[in-house]
Chains A and B, each alone.
Chain A
Amino acid sequence: MMTKSFGAAAVLTVLALAPACTDLTEVPSSQITPENFYQNETQAIGGLASVYAQLRTSGASSNYYETSEISTDEMVVPVRGQNWFDNGQWLDIHRQTFTPNSVGTLKLIDPAWNDLFTGVARANIVLNALSNVTFASKATVVAELRTLRAFYYFMLMDEFGGLPIVTDVEIKARPQDTRDSVFKFIESELNAARPDLPVTWPATMNGRMTQGAVDAILASLYLNAQVFTGTVTTTGLQPGAARWQDAITEADKIINSSAGYQLASNWRSNFTANNYSSPEIIMALKFAAVAGLGNNYLMTMLGYDQYTPSPWNGFATLAETYHAFDSTDIRRQIFLVGQGLNLSTGQPTTLADGKTPLVFTDTIGDITSASEGAGIRITKWPLDPNHVGVDAGNDYAYFRLAEIFLIKAEAMNELGDPAGAAALINSTTRARAFPTTPKPFSLALPQAAMRDSILSERLFELISEGKRRQDLIRRGIYTQPYCCAPLYGYKPGPIPPYKILMPIPQTQLETNPLLKQNPGY
Chain B
Amino acid sequence: MAVVRRLSLALVFGLLCTVRLGAQNPTGNIAGRVVDSLTQQPLPDVSVVVQGTRLGAVTQADGSFVIGNVPSGTQFVRVRRIGFSSPLATVTVPAGGTATMHFALERRVAVLEEVVTTGYGTQRRLAITGSVSTIEASQASVGIQPNVTNMIEGRAAGVQITQNSGDPGTGAQILIRGGTSISASNEPLYVIDGIPINNVDAENAGVGVQAAPALPRNPMNMLNPSDIQSISILKDAAATAIYGSRAANGVVLIETKKGVGGPSMEYEVQAGMASPRKYLGLLNGDQYRAFIAQEVAAGVLPASRPAEDTANTDWEHVLTRSAPTVNQNLSFSGGSSATQYRASVNYFDQQGIVINNGFRRYQARLNGTHQALDGRLRLGLNLTGSHVINDFLPYENTGGFQGGVFINMVYFNPTHPIMVTDAAGTRVYYETGPGAQAVDNPVALANQVQSKGTDDRTLGNLSADYDIFSSLTARINIGADRVAGDRNDYLPSASPVGSQFNGLAQRTNRDNTTKTLQTLLTFHPTFVTGRDFELVGGYEYEDYIFNEFGAQSQSFLTDALGYNSLSSGAVLVPPFSSNSESRLVSFFGRANASLNDKYFLTGVLRKDGSSTFGIGNKWAVFPAISGSWRLSQESFMRTGPFSELRLRAGYGKVGNPGAPPYASLILLSADGGSRYVFGETPVTGFSPISNPNPNLKWESTAENNIALDYGFLNNRFTGSLEYYVKKTQDLLLTVNVPQPAVASTRLENVGRIQNKGVEFSLDGQVLNRPNNNWTAGIVFAHNSNKVLDLGPYSFLSEGTVSGQGQSSQDAQRIIPGEPLGTFYGPQFVGVGSNKADSTTYGKQLFNHYVVTRDAAGHVTSRVLTGTTTQPQGDDFVVLGNANPNYTLGFHISGNLGKFDLSLLINREAGQKVFNNTALVYATKGNVLTDKNFLLSALNDPTGINEPSIYSSRWIEDGSFTRLQNVTIGYTFDLPRFTGTARNSRVYLSGDNLLLFTGYTGYDPEVFTSAGLATRGMDYLHYPRPRTITGGLRVAF
Interfacial residues, chain A to chain B (CB-CB below 8 A): 3-4, 7-9, 11-12, 14-26, 28-34, 37-38, 43, 45-55, 79, 81-89, 91, 97, 99, 101-103, 106-108, 111, 113-114, 117-118, 120-122, 124-125, 164, 166, 171-174, 202-208, 276, 286-288, 290-293, 304-305, 308-310, 312, 342, 349-356, 358, 368-369, 371-372, 389, 393, 506-508, 510-513
Interfacial residues, chain B to chain A (CB-CB below 8 A): 1-3, 5-6, 9-10, 13, 16-17, 21, 304-306, 373, 376-377, 401-402, 432-439, 464, 466, 468, 474, 476, 500, 517, 519, 521, 539, 541, 573, 577-583, 585, 587, 609-612, 618, 661-662, 664-670, 672-689, 691-692, 735-744, 746, 792-794, 797, 801, 803-809, 869-870, 872-873, 920, 923, 925-926, 928-931, 943, 945-950
Q: Please determine whether B738 and A174 come into contact, CB atoms closer than 8 angstroms.
A: yes
Q: Please determine whether A29 and B476 come into contact, CB atoms closer than 8 angstroms.
A: no
Q: Please determine whether A117 and B436 come into contact, CB atoms closer than 8 angstroms.
A: no
Report B26 CB to chain A, min CB distance, Å: 20
Task: Write the chain A residue with the least CB distance to B810.
Answer: A87
Return chain A residues, CB-CB under 8 Å to B587. 19
Q: Please determine whether A286 and B677 come into contact, CB atoms closer than 8 angstroms.
A: yes
Q: Please determine whether B736 and A166 come into contact, CB atoms closer than 8 angstroms.
A: no
Q: Please determine whether B742 and A173 come into contact, CB atoms closer than 8 angstroms.
A: no
Tell which of A11, A173, A351 has the most Cβ of chain B within 10 Å.
Answer: A11
Q: Please determine whether B17 and A81 come into contact, CB atoms closer than 8 angstroms.
A: no
Q: Please determine whether B678 and A207 come into contact, CB atoms closer than 8 angstroms.
A: yes
Known A-B contacts A85-B949, A276-B680, A354-B436; the reply to A389 vs B691 at CB < 8 A is no
From A19, A37, A118, give the contact of B2 (CB < 8 A).
A19
A103 to B950, CA, bound (A): 13
- Per CB-CB distance, the 8 closest pairs between chain A and chain B, nearest first, are A50-B687, A353-B930, A49-B685, A117-B739, A310-B437, A50-B674, A50-B685, A369-B945
Q: Please determine whether A206 and B464 come into contact, CB atoms closer than 8 angstroms.
A: no
Return chain A residues, CB-CB under 8 Å to B668. 31-34, 37
Q: Please determine whether B686 and A52 come into contact, CB atoms closer than 8 angstroms.
A: no
Return chain A residues, CB-CB under 8 Å to B686. 32, 37-38, 43, 46-47, 49-50
Q: Please determine whether A102 and B438 come into contact, CB atoms closer than 8 angstroms.
A: no
Report B535 CB to chain A, min CB distance, Å: 15
Q: Please determine whether A32 and B611 come into contact, CB atoms closer than 8 angstroms.
A: no
Return chain A residues, CB-CB under 8 Å to B870. 88, 91, 368
From B306, B582, B740, B929, give the contact of A166 (CB < 8 A).
B740
Report B370 CB to chain A, min CB distance, Å: 13
Q: Please determine whether B680 and A16 come into contact, CB atoms closer than 8 angstroms.
A: no
Task: Write the chain B residue with the least CB distance to A12.
Answer: B13
Q: Please determine whether B682 and A117 come into contact, CB atoms closer than 8 angstroms.
A: no
Known A-B contacts A82-B923, A205-B679; the reply to A26 vs B808 at CB < 8 A is no
Return chain A residues, CB-CB under 8 Å to B931. 352
Report A468 CB to chain B, min CB distance, Å: 23
A19 to B1, CA, bound (A): 10
Return chain B residues, CB-CB under 8 Å to A107. 807-808
Q: Provide a sorted-by-A list of 14 A–B residue pairs whose CB atoms are within 8 angstroms.
A: A7-B373, A15-B539, A22-B585, A23-B583, A26-B661, A31-B668, A46-B683, A47-B686, A81-B926, A87-B806, A202-B679, A276-B680, A353-B435, A389-B500
Report A299 CB to chain B, min CB distance, Å: 12
Q: Please determine whether A351 and B435 come into contact, CB atoms closer than 8 angstroms.
A: yes
Known A-B contacts A288-B680, A372-B929; the reply to A510 vs B674 at CB < 8 A is no
Report A247 CB to chain B, min CB distance, Å: 28
Report A221 CB to chain B, min CB distance, Å: 20
Known A-B contacts A14-B476, A28-B662, A510-B793; the reply to A352 vs B679 at CB < 8 A is no
From A18, A23, A30, A85, give the contact of B580 (CB < 8 A).
A30
Known A-B contacts A292-B675, A349-B434; the reply to A122 vs B687 at CB < 8 A is yes
Task: Write the chain A residue with the least CB distance to B743.
Answer: A118
Return chain B residues, CB-CB under 8 Å to A11. 464, 466, 468, 474, 476
Report A82 CB to chain B, min CB distance, Å: 5
Q: Please determine whether B685 and A46 come into contact, CB atoms closer than 8 angstroms.
A: yes
Q: Please determine whether B377 and A7 come into contact, CB atoms closer than 8 angstroms.
A: yes
Q: Please determine whether A82 and B436 come into contact, CB atoms closer than 8 angstroms.
A: no
Q: Please determine whether A513 and B436 come into contact, CB atoms closer than 8 angstroms.
A: no
Report B820 CB to chain A, min CB distance, Å: 19
Query: Besides A43-B686, A292-B675, A369-B945, 13 other CB < 8 A contacts?
Result: A7-B466, A18-B541, A21-B541, A34-B666, A37-B668, A53-B675, A85-B947, A172-B738, A204-B681, A207-B679, A291-B672, A304-B437, A352-B439
Q: Please determine whether A511 and B737 come into contact, CB atoms closer than 8 angstroms.
A: yes
A29 to B668, CA, bound (A): 11
Q: Please determine whether A12 and B17 come into contact, CB atoms closer than 8 angstroms.
A: yes
Q: Please determine whether B674 and A17 come into contact, CB atoms closer than 8 angstroms.
A: no
Task: Write the chain B residue with the least CB distance to A388.
Answer: B571
A286 to B683, CA, bound (A): 11
Return chain A residues, CB-CB under 8 Å to B945. 81, 369
Q: Please determine whether A26 and B305 come into contact, CB atoms closer than 8 angstroms.
A: no
Q: Please determine whether B804 and A120 come into contact, CB atoms closer than 8 angstroms.
A: no
Q: Please determine whether A97 and B466 come into contact, CB atoms closer than 8 angstroms.
A: no
Return chain B residues, CB-CB under 8 Å to A207. 676-679
Task: Write the chain B residue with the least CB distance to A521.
Answer: B857
Return chain A residues, CB-CB under 8 Å to B661. 26, 28
Return chain A residues, CB-CB under 8 Å to B373. 3-4, 7
Q: Please determine whether B925 and A82 come into contact, CB atoms closer than 8 angstroms.
A: yes
Known A-B contacts A47-B687, A103-B873; the reply to A511 vs B738 at CB < 8 A is yes
Q: Please determine whether B585 and A24 come into contact, CB atoms closer than 8 angstroms.
A: yes
From A47, A351, A508, give the contact of B929 (CB < 8 A).
A351
From A15, A305, A309, A511, give the contact of B476 (CB < 8 A).
A15
Q: Please determine whether A350 and B435 come into contact, CB atoms closer than 8 angstroms.
A: yes
Q: Please determine whether B573 and A291 come into contact, CB atoms closer than 8 angstroms.
A: yes
A166 to B517, CA, bound (A): 48
From B304, B539, B925, give the contact of A81 (CB < 8 A).
B925
Known A-B contacts A31-B662, A32-B667, A86-B806; the reply to A369 vs B741 at CB < 8 A is no
Return chain B residues, CB-CB under 8 Å to A204. 678-679, 681
Q: Please determine whether A26 and B612 come into contact, CB atoms closer than 8 angstroms.
A: yes
Known A-B contacts A19-B9, A84-B805; the reply to A510 vs B794 at CB < 8 A is yes
A20 to B587, CA, bound (A): 11
Report A313 CB to chain B, min CB distance, Å: 9
Q: Please determine whether B792 and A12 come into contact, CB atoms closer than 8 angstroms.
A: no
Q: Please determine whether B438 and A8 come into contact, CB atoms closer than 8 angstroms.
A: no
Q: Please determine whether B946 and A369 come into contact, CB atoms closer than 8 angstroms.
A: yes
A512 to B736, CA, bound (A): 9
Return chain A residues, CB-CB under 8 Å to B466. 7-8, 11
Return chain A residues, CB-CB under 8 Å to B948. 82, 85
A19 to B673, CA, bound (A): 43
Known A-B contacts A206-B678, A354-B930; the reply to A31 vs B741 at CB < 8 A is no
Report A108 CB to chain B, min CB distance, Å: 8
A259 to B91, CA, bound (A): 108
Task: Write the chain B residue with the least CB distance to A91.
Answer: B870
Report A417 CB to chain B, min CB distance, Å: 41
Task: Write the chain A residue with the least CB distance to B545.
Answer: A29
Q: Please determine whether B435 and A305 come into contact, CB atoms closer than 8 angstroms.
A: yes
Report A215 CB to chain B, min CB distance, Å: 21
Report B739 CB to chain A, min CB distance, Å: 3
From A29, A122, A172, A304, give the contact of B688 (CB < 8 A).
A122
Return chain A residues, CB-CB under 8 Å to B872. 88, 97, 102
Return chain B residues, CB-CB under 8 Å to A48. 685
Q: Please determine whether A82 and B805 come into contact, CB atoms closer than 8 angstroms.
A: yes
Task: Write the chain B residue with the least CB distance to A36.
Answer: B668
Return chain A residues, CB-CB under 8 Å to B438. 304, 310, 352
From B474, B577, B685, B744, give the contact of A118 (CB < 8 A).
B744
Task: Write the chain A residue with the least CB distance to B669.
Answer: A31
A309 to B432, CA, bound (A): 15
Q: Please determine whether B21 and A4 come into contact, CB atoms closer than 8 angstroms.
A: yes
Q: Please determine whether B435 and A18 come into contact, CB atoms closer than 8 angstroms.
A: no
Report A338 CB to chain B, min CB distance, Å: 16
Return chain B residues, CB-CB under 8 Å to A358. 435
A102 to B401, CA, bound (A): 24
Report B387 CB to chain A, min CB distance, Å: 28
Return chain A residues, CB-CB under 8 Å to B923. 82
